[in-house]
Structure 1
């Protein structure tokens, strides 16, 4: 056998050995081959579904559109639309605009000129005079209100094309979009930031926990800690708290970057979308939720790391938890805002996402936030107890 054949044989031997190791280890096969594709498929499918639901308005009688001076020429066209039309003649226009801005039962408020049909018939396009104007008041921060605006605009556009541009829509000084800066900020941030924040927290925990526990097991240095006079419960609590501090700093750094870059990400100016819309109360509540979430996630990853024989095995074993975190994070994109049922805020991880969503939407319920923080701390304490029991098990801690 010449040198070239020998080198080829050596390469093939190494390839066979590495492939046998990969396909012979079910955990590694699951984490490196199957899970990535499965995670991408599930996450992108659910994100597409949730985003479609989030930005699809109601198309039934629950969408209430108030119309003032409805012209006879458009009455039939509007009657065919999947919405409830309410005659606003004689109603207070300012009060209706306030209801639209507040996101109450009024999805949109449409005002036609009192003599719309006559004015349109008499209007001369070549005269250069302002055309009759139809005002549509809506709230762009509300999915239903935006849908109502699009519905009315669609009907008017179709009618305008038949009349050769004899009237305008929202051509005056306005404002017609009644959404405030806090409305727009709350809608965007409450949808995206909870998902991103949970993923950042998880990434920060993954960066420190496996190395601190599974890494010490792999190197054999965990034995030194276990033979010291320190109680195992104290060791477990110390590990969780110290790792939580490091993970929290990582998460806060990512959170700050996300909040500052969100306007650019959404293609909006800082006047339309700004983290400055939130006050000390919102940031304090957000910090409490994030801190309690870090404690919980660190406890979960620490338990998995303690059961693993190496850092690599810990990373592979944590992969299903990562998938769960992503799926739970996507729930912030669901329409309708955070749930109001207090019992739902006892569900681990889900409670954190919904609590952050409520805070960022300026709709935080003190009871729900308190339940979230308290339950997360209790779950983390239970995790510390489980970790203590694992530290007491020589079979677990000395398996390498």
Structure 2
């Protein structure tokens, strides 16, 4: 145990004495997560502002409109045209100066359904202008409902649309946040893990350590613990970025209730990030041990990007998420996948404590197994000698 602690302290001292590595550990994950989320917030805000800018005063006219349609036209902000020059208004609509023109025939009359002689209303608009297209849709809808009918639907003041917009936004956040958090931790640990073992192997320093009285297993565990400590630091940084970003993102996406989580939920998010990072680090250490040099280690490491991306993106896809939900507790027995799933569950406020405990236990066990594999690989001369 003393040898393990000695090796871990030596590695950590090297990390903490390097300002670039410190910046990478404590600042990069926060900037990565927070910066990306703020970029999304800015895009959402700009889209909302641009849509608000599009809500300019409507310019629409009617010609020969019968008196019985005056209320409907006033509601749509369609006013009588100053003159009957249809060609002039056509040109204005083409030039996006006017939104819409309704032309009623001189002999307009209401007819019963099935009548052979029906009056036609000409409605001119410009589909390349948002206001024009929107007004055209409203107008056709209003006038369609004014036609003779034998029943009505949804005409009371009830809210018939039961669509939960907040649930949709939470699901969107669940697809973005886990990916960003684990990518941030991966970027920090990838190079450090590669240099810790494959780098020492490339420089010949590992062989020097192996001829000392320190056991190979202790050397492997000591190096692994130092990278795991880095993973904790990077996870804390990424978690802070996530915790600060969630309320801002919800506000930018115009969620009605916004995002508000309890202390327990933030604790679950933090533990999911940390334990998931442990598994990523264990895999990175295995790659570093197998690799002959740093270049080979960093070439193998991007495989883990797919391990991070696949569950994050697929769990956010409606058709695939239904299949995932059918797996039930099985989701939480798959390392890394379970952390992404738990993060999404907590963000959506659909989590279960028992699933969270399974996730933490499985990830810690998987990380321990990974460190054990690294120790076994250190006993193989062909591997440690490159």
The reply on whether 1:392 has 2:338 as its aligned counterpart is: no
Residue 284 of structure 1 deviates from its aligned partner by: 0.8
The residue aligned with 1:325 is 308
CA distance in 2, matches of 1:214, 1:292: 24
Residue 233 of structure 1 deviates from its aligned partner by: 2.8
**Distance verdict in 2 for CA 1:317–1:156, change over 3 Å:** same
What does residue range 133-172 of structure 1 map to in structure 2 within 5 Å? 159-163=141-145
For structure 1, the 5+ residue unaligned runs are 1-121, 131-154
* Cα RMSD, aligned residues only: 3.9
How many residues of Structure 1 are paired with residues of Structure 2 in the alignment? 252
Alpha carbons 2:171, 2:344 under 8 Å: kept? no
SS in 1 for 2:335: coil
The residue aligned with 2:289 is 306
Residue 173 of structure 1 deviates from its aligned partner by: 12
The residue aligned with 2:332 is 345
What does residue range 1-400 of structure 1 map to in structure 2 within 5 Å? 125=71, 159-163=141-145, 179=164, 183=167, 186-261=170-245, 268=252, 277-335=260-318, 336=321, 339=325, 341-399=328-386
Which of 1 and 2 has greater Rg?
A: 2
Give TM-score scaled by structure 1 length: 0.53
Alpha carbons 1:240, 1:302 under 8 Å: kept? yes
Residue 272 of structure 1 deviates from its aligned partner by: 5.1
**Distance verdict in 2 for CA 1:123–1:171, change over 3 Å:** farther
CA distance in 2, matches of 1:171, 1:314: 66
Alpha carbons 2:251, 2:258 under 8 Å: kept? no
Alpha carbons 1:185, 1:272 under 8 Å: kept? no
CA distance in 2, matches of 1:304, 1:270: 43
**Distance verdict in 2 for CA 1:198–1:128, change over 3 Å:** same
SS in 2 for 1:303: helix
Segment of structure 1 superposing worse, 262-271 or 367-376: 262-271
CA distance in 1, matches of 2:247, 2:140: 34
Give TM-score scaled by structure 2 length: 0.55
**Distance verdict in 2 for CA 1:259–1:207, change over 3 Å:** farther
Residue 185 of structure 1 deviates from its aligned partner by: 5.6
Q: Deviations over 1:281-317 (max 9, x none)?
A: 1111111111111111111110110111111111112
State the 4+ residue runs in structure 1 displaced beyond 6 angstroms. Answer: 126-130, 169-178, 263-267
Residue 179 of structure 1 deviates from its aligned partner by: 4.9
Q: Deviations over 1:333-368 (max 9, x none)?
A: 122577361122111221111111111111111221
Alpha carbons 1:204, 1:251 under 8 Å: kept? no
The residue aligned with 1:45 is none
CA distance in 2, matches of 1:235, 1:171: 74
CA distance in 2, matches of 1:170, 1:244: 61
Residue 386 of structure 1 deviates from its aligned partner by: 0.9
Alpha carbons 1:226, 1:391 under 8 Å: kept? no
The residue aligned with 2:100 is none
**Distance verdict in 2 for CA 1:270–1:209, change over 3 Å:** farther
Alpha carbons 1:206, 1:301 under 8 Å: kept? yes
The residue aligned with 1:41 is none
CA distance in 2, matches of 1:272, 1:128: 31
Alpha carbons 1:263, 1:270 under 8 Å: kept? no
Residue 186 of structure 1 deviates from its aligned partner by: 2.9
